[in-house]
Amino acid sequence: MSRLIKRVLVVGYTDTGVAPLCAAILNQMCTKKGIDDVVFDSCGFWGDRNQPVDSAMQRVAGELGIDLTRYKAKKVETKTVRAASLVIPQDEVIWRGIRELLQRKSFRLGKPAKLNQPMGGQLEDYRRARGEVLDYCRRFMRNLIDERRGDKKMMDGLTVVRLQTIHAEAVEQLEKECFTHPWSLASIVGELEKPTTEGCFIGAFWEDQLVGYGSLYKVGDEAYVNNIAVAKKMRRKGIGHLLLEGLIADCILSDVATLSLEVRSKNLDAIRLYETHGFTTIGCRKRFYRDPVDDGVIMTLFLTGEAPVAPPYEPTERELMMEQKQAKILSQLFLISYDEALERLVVRRRPYKIKRKRKNQPAE
């Protein structure tokens, strides 16, 4: 759990018992802790939609100041689960059910919460179940807060630099860890030797160890991402965002018009990362990848065009802190002022759509 978590989905047997209570308690705890970039929701693996929460569960929730009287049950759907940053199953039965339902689909499935569902018992049974939910929610919040603190400490010790040929072997090791078909050492050296007018190769170091890298190549006013890789033990800590910001900043400073890439269609974490930075899907190459076979989604970031049309976005305190850290690193990496780096990050803060004229639309 890290700053990349935006929506957490609690899946119960039905959405009329402990699942909506768990989601409501976690939302309540986040509000008290000032965490405003995580939203918890719930749904049921079985049961009907639009059903009210059990009356006894409404009562024990009301004793905590939580109003579930207007809540209407939702049923699990593939698209709902895939859209979540994290899925929390009520127990191992639901955990296996979700795995079987989605099979090869890419999503983040957490450990079973091991919560019991009272079935028409006495009010004390529901209070006992509420106690189990509270214990789980407290543990979840402690883990979330501890990991966020660890992320901040890690980011303070992170350095991003332009890589040179002396880093080739370290990049090769990271390639082997992250990809089924890694680049050869000769190919890596060839990319590292390219001048800045033809490419960009940057790396993130933590305690003198390469934990991530990003590279692109340029053709005229177009650029293409080769790879963005982060060590498995260092993922979900914002390193991928930082590397992508570095590549985007290089394109902006080089007057590049478009930055494009290809990504596996089932790599939803990567797709969310690119969409966060303004990339849009423009095409698909069927069965482009192998081992395993998968479609290649083509995504492009338009660096020139009309102004953003999305409504103004107010960043959270955590996003502002990360933005300031990124601006400091980018100013050192690309030899620009801190204010200029921060301004460019603010422009890229949220995805936007480029207005395009429809076919056969007359020019104004």
Q: Based on the domain organization, do 107 and 177 belong to the same domain?
A: no
The torsion angles phi and psi of 162, rounded to 5 degrees, stand at -75, 130
Q: Based on the domain organization, do 141 and 180 belong to the same domain?
A: no
CATH code assigned at 288 = 3.40.630.30
pLDDT score, position 338 = 79
Is residue 313 assigned to a domain? Answer: yes
Task: Give per-residue pLDDT as tens, 314-347.
Answer: 666 666 776 776 677 777 676 678 787 777 666 5
Q: Based on the domain organization, do 54 and 197 belong to the same domain?
A: no
Is residue 358 assigned to a domain? Answer: no
**Least confident interval from 65-74, 103-112, 323-332:** 103-112
Separation of alpha carbons 167 and 104, rounded Å: 35
Is residue 360 assigned to a domain? Answer: no
Q: Based on the domain organization, do 221 and 342 belong to the same domain?
A: yes
Q: How far is CA 48 from CA 14, 74, 176, in A?
A: 8, 8, 47
Is residue 339 assigned to a domain? Answer: yes
Q: Please state whether beta strands 280-289 and 39-44 pair in parallel, antiparallel, or not at all (unpaired).
A: unpaired
Confidence band, pLDDT 50/70/90 cuts, at residue 207: confident
Residues in the chain: 364
Separation of alpha carbons 15 and 23, rounded Å: 11
Both tokens of 335, joined, read: 């030899």
Q: Across the beta sheet with 39-44, what order do the strands follow? A: 39-44, 7-12, 86-89
Is residue 286 assigned to a domain? Answer: yes
Q: Based on the domain organization, do 60 and 182 belong to the same domain?
A: no
Q: Based on the domain organization, do 125 and 225 belong to the same domain?
A: no
Q: Based on the domain organization, do 166 and 300 belong to the same domain?
A: yes
pTM: 0.53
Q: Based on the domain organization, do 16 and 164 belong to the same domain?
A: no
Q: How far is CA 213 from CA 130, 204, 318, in A?
A: 45, 6, 24
- Please report where in the chains the tokens 């006013």 appear, as a residue: 221
277 versus 64: which is more confidently predicted?
A: 64
Total structural domains within the chain: 2
Both tokens of 6, joined, read: 């935006």
Task: Residue 61: give the domain boundaries.
Answer: 7-153
pLDDT score, position 171 = 94
**Residue 10 buriedness (CB in 10 A; 0-12 / 13-18 / 19+):** buried
Q: How far is CA 337 from CA 9, 201, 322, 332, 340, in A?
A: 41, 21, 17, 8, 5
Q: Based on the domain organization, do 78 and 173 belong to the same domain?
A: no
Q: Based on the domain organization, do 148 and 164 belong to the same domain?
A: no
Separation of alpha carbons 77 and 100, rounded Å: 13
pLDDT score, position 309 = 42
Choosing from 106, 121, 153, the residue where a domain stops is 153
How large is the average pLDDT for residues 180-184?
A: 87
Amino acid identity of residue 245, one-letter, is: E
Q: What's the chain's average pLDDT?
A: 81
How many CA atoms are closer than 13 Å to the CA of 307, on its beta-carbon side? 2
Task: Give per-residue pLDDT as tens, 219-274.
Answer: 988 999 998 999 988 887 778 888 888 888 788 778 888 999 999 888 887 887 78
Confidence band, pLDDT 50/70/90 cuts, at residue 47: confident
Q: Based on the domain organization, do 68 and 171 belong to the same domain?
A: no
Task: Give per-residue pLDDT as tens, 278-289.
Answer: 788 888 888 888
Q: Based on the domain organization, do 129 and 179 belong to the same domain?
A: no
Choosing from 134, 153, 172, the residue where a domain stops is 153
Separation of alpha carbons 36 and 255, rounded Å: 36
Choosing from 153, 187, 216, the residue where a domain stops is 153
In SS3 terms, the chain reads as: CCCCCCEEEEEECCCCCHHHHHHHHHHHHHHHHCCCCCEEEEEECCCCCCCECCHHHHHHHHCCCCCCCCCECCECCHHHHHHCCEEEECCHHHHHHHHHHHCCCCCCECCCCCCCCCCCCCHHHHHHHHHHHHHHHHHHHHHHHHHHHHHHHHHHCEEEEECCHHHHHHHHHHHHHHCCCCCCHHHHHHHHCCCCCCEEEEEEEECCEEEEEEEEEEECCEEEEEEEEECHHHCCCCHHHHHHHHHHHHHHHCCCCEEEEEEECCCHHHHHHHHHCCCEEEEEEEEEECCCCEEEEEEEEECCCCCCCCCCCCCCHHHHHHHHHHHHHHHHHHCCCHHHHHHHHHHCCCCCCCCCCCCCCCCC
CATH code assigned at 102 = 3.40.50.2300
Is residue 290 assigned to a domain? Answer: yes
Separation of alpha carbons 61 and 58, rounded Å: 5
Is residue 276 assigned to a domain? Answer: yes
Is residue 291 assigned to a domain? Answer: yes
